[in-house]
Amino acid sequence: MATKVAFDTLGCKLNFSETSTIKRQFRNNDYQITEFDKVADIYVINTCSVTNNANRACRKTVRRALRRNPEAFVAVIGCYAQLEPQEIAEIDGVDVVLGHKNKFDLLDLFDEFEKQSETLIYNTDVNEAVDFHNAFNSNDRTRAFLKVQDGCSYNCAFCTIPLARGESRSPTINKVLDDARHLVDRGFKEIILTGVNVGDFGAGRDEDFYDLVRALDTEVEGLKRVRFSSVEPNLMHDDIIKYVAESEIFQPHFHMPLQSGSDEMLKRMRRRYMSDVYADRVRLIRELIPDACIGTDVITGHPGETEELFQESYDFIDSLDVSYLHVFTYSERPNTDAVDMEPVVPKEERKERTHKLRRLSTKKRFAFDTRFTGEIRPTLFECANKNGYMQGWTDNYVRVAVPYEEQYENRVLPVQIGQRTKEGYFMGTIQEEIESEEQVIAELTE
């Protein structure tokens, strides 16, 4: 009987991409992949270190695995494993801790995956993690998250990612194109470019993110859609926005982290832009692509954020024509500069500010989505029957559902957007089918 291995991932899409790559390594070596909440012989936990909650989640996940099988081999890998290997080693039942450089080496390090009498730690200085490991993942066979960059050379006051992942690095454009072609050959219709700092692609070489955007647009036959995950506003140059505005492949969807709408706070956070740069980016996107979805990230309660500065940030974000917010509550992280900054915002006040901004996000998301009621948008449908319905994303990132039909799986189809449901997505009606998917965009833009 094949050895069973289960995986759980904490954190970002990049972590999910890397977990999927390790999962394929095991599958290719004849291990049986099973769900994490089922009995397995090996449990692999890929960790995050962005917040204290992520650290606690790691501990809970280890306990969850051992409840299923107390004799299972437990491996903890990833960012938290890089930053706090000794802390993880003290968790009962953990057999091995693998930092950033070694997390892809499980199958090289172990043959039998036998329970260890003492926790083994494979952890090197993060600056030794100079190799780029290709990775991609998907929830189904329609959309794939493709890793194109890793690490970060920025030094934001609140962030542990450079400590956990090392300096910025990326593959060549030709390598990304090969990966994209492989995904298209496997049937994926949409690729989402992911990384720690995607816009920093090519740093230190004679290639850059704009070059990558153009190459993907013109050199991957059969690729229907591309999105990119979070890109820093200082790296979201005007030429990228202008290129996306003219592209039929790049979708009208941008995600740019802001973190604060107060220039004083941006300086404290050591961000590489001021609020006017962000506003200019949003203004250009709206001018060239009026229907684009624009998302952002915001941190509340960073040390030094007074009530006045929070209100300044809130008012700025409220004035922006963005579509949704991802709001994070600041938490102290060891070895970051922010942990020593004053004044410290009380935790209850941080939470209240988070709630205020999340309410603002709900209002903005509702206003953006409902603008398109009655319109027809090209929609890529996923391969899942959920209570008789199937869901998909429009080009501009509106969630739509229609009655399930197997023939619509993994296809881009014109959908008229109907009424919003209480769950937050929209019922849609597929319009008269078009002979080829390539015609969808053309006919909708005539």
Average pLDDT over residues 201-218: 96
Q: Mean pLDDT lowest for which of 50-64, 81-95, 394-408?
A: 50-64
Buried b (16+ CB within 10 A) or exposed e, 97-107: bbbbbbbbebe
The confidence score (pLDDT) of residue 438 equals 53
Residues of the chain with pLDDT > 90: what percent?
73
Q: How far apart are CA 77 and CA 84, in angstroms?
A: 11
Return mean pLDDT, the chain. 91
Q: Structural domain boundaries of the chain?
A: 4-128, 136-370, 376-444
pLDDT digits (tens, 9 = 90+) for 346-382: 999 999 999 999 999 999 999 999 999 999 999 999 9
Give me the torsion for CA of 171, 173, 175, 181, rounded to 10°. 140
Given a cut of 80, whether residue 158 has pLDDT beyond it is yes
| Closest-CA residue to 309 (of 322, 300, 321) | 300
CA 329 to chain centre: 18
pLDDT band at 52 (very low <50, low <70, confident <90, very high): low
Lowest mean pLDDT among 49-53, 94-98, 246-250, 337-341: 49-53
- Give the whole-angstrom CA distance, residue 392 versus residue 83: 38
| CATH code, 376-444 | 2.40.50
Lowest mean pLDDT among 101-115, 129-143, 243-257, 316-330: 129-143
Cβ proximity of 144 and 176 under 8 Å: no
Structure tokens at 259: 């973190």
4-128 classified as CATH 3.40.50.12160: yes
What's residue 56's pLDDT? 80
For residue 251, the model assigns a pLDDT of 97
Predicted TM-score (pTM) of this structure: 0.84
What DSSP letter does each residue of 406-439 carry, written as one string?
Answer: GGGTT-EEEEEEEEEPTTS-EEEEE-SPPSSTHH
CATH for 136-370 is: 3.80.30.20
Strand order in the sheet with 143-147: 136-137, 143-147, 190-194, 225-228
